[in-house]
Structure 1
């Protein structure tokens, strides 16, 4: 699937919107979606995969993209020059309904980023910083896999902001994304076990009341 010159001039969100509009019913594989981007940069791939994670109450697609996100972030941390997905991840498919939800949700929640972002604090987006950021983003992506409600939205925003910062060499966005992600992961580590214990205690009391004399 070759990208036309007109497509190359579009923003990432506009490319996603056009891709969703022209997608077949069964959609595209992640590798085909990456081909549409015509990008070798990690930032573009991570931003695209983070889009569905940013949309509240969207289930299914975030679980499809979370492992590929971790794979890309890990490759960044290892200093790879170009993103690559193994067949097991690259062949994962997002149908047209999922792509449409990504396009609409991305425009609704992240449309502002296209006018806000500009090159600044560019030293933060350099090769050495990119490796450190890859390690950090890998942690954020891993938190999306936690089986608790709404665990994908905040880290999704964190990855999307940092990734778009890489694309536009906007160190400020990278910093905001990193701070947001660290706050979320810290909260998850502190409150997660408490929430699980509370759920277990509630379930025990409920079962006792249901079956008790």
Structure 2
């Protein structure tokens, strides 16, 4: 999959496409419109959008809805699809265009900074096998996102964001950062689970001593 390019042969930047989507007419921006706008980069671009959304502070259960589309996208990537396919009802999901403009505007500096640092490199990490492994990792990370755990969305969402940037820009360094952040996610989960088990056992011991 090559990058979408302009008539001059230069790649169209992710940030430019976001601005164009926000500037188009119509009160609602549909997910299908976003997929069409990014073309061959739709996998990485749409996953990056949802990763950014999931990095925002949500109340418990909020990422159950915002993380669910990433399960679908990750499964397709893991399956080895070259192009992103969405059911019609998913493609009709929409957000207010003004809301989209405001949200993307607030994140534009960060997005452009990421674009400036990323470039095609270490291509073996974003090849067919690499993307399949990325899809599997994102599938697990997305499953973690949909769990109603307060504050549990940030690290998995960052990992998916790195993976998505790597797929979109063919940047193996971003993919490596994604794998590192995935490892951190696993370590945090193990620590949290150990802490919960220890607290549960302590509670049982206290209960036994009292009664």
Q: Name the TM tier (shorter chain).
A: 0.7 to 0.9
Q: Note the C-alpha offset of 1:91.
A: 2.4
**Which residue of structure 2 aligns with residue 138 of structure 1?**
139
Q: Is the deviation greater in 164-173 or in 60-69?
A: 60-69
Instruction: Give the secondary-structure state (helix, strand or coil) at the position aligned to 1:181.
Output: helix
Q: Deviations over 1:26-48 (max 9, x none)?
A: x2221122122233552222123
Q: Note the C-alpha offset of 1:21.
A: 3.6
**Which residue of structure 2 aligns with residue 124 of structure 1?**
125
Contact persistence 1:77–1:133 (CA under 8 A)? yes
Q: 1:6-21 maps to which residues of 2 (within 5 A)? A: 10-21=12-23
* Distance in 2 (alpha carbons) for counterparts of 1:157 and 1:106: 14
**Which residue of structure 2 aligns with residue 209 of structure 1?**
none
Structure 1 gap segments, 5+ residues each: 202-213
**Which residue of structure 2 aligns with residue 42 of structure 1?**
43
Distance 1:10 1:40, change over 3 A: closer
Report the number of matched residues. 196
Distance 1:61 1:191, change over 3 A: closer
Give the structure-1-normalised TM-score. 0.75
Structure 2 gap segments, 5+ residues each: 203-211
Q: Note the C-alpha offset of 1:63.
A: 5.0
**Which residue of structure 2 aligns with residue 93 of structure 1?**
94
Give the structure-2-normalised TM-score. 0.76
Instruction: Give the secondary-structure state (helix, strand or coil) at the position aligned to 1:146.
Output: coil
Distance 1:36 1:62, change over 3 A: farther
* Distance in 2 (alpha carbons) for counterparts of 1:145 and 1:4: 35
State the superposition RMSD in angstroms: 3.3
* Distance in 2 (alpha carbons) for counterparts of 1:171 and 1:4: 20
Q: 1:1-213 maps to which residues of 2 (within 5 A)? A: 10-22=12-24, 24-25=26-27, 27-39=28-40, 41-54=42-55, 56-57=56-57, 64-191=65-192, 194=195
Instruction: Give the secondary-structure state (helix, strand or coil) at the position aligned to 2:159.
Output: helix
* Distance in 1 (alpha carbons) for counterparts of 2:196 and 2:112: 33
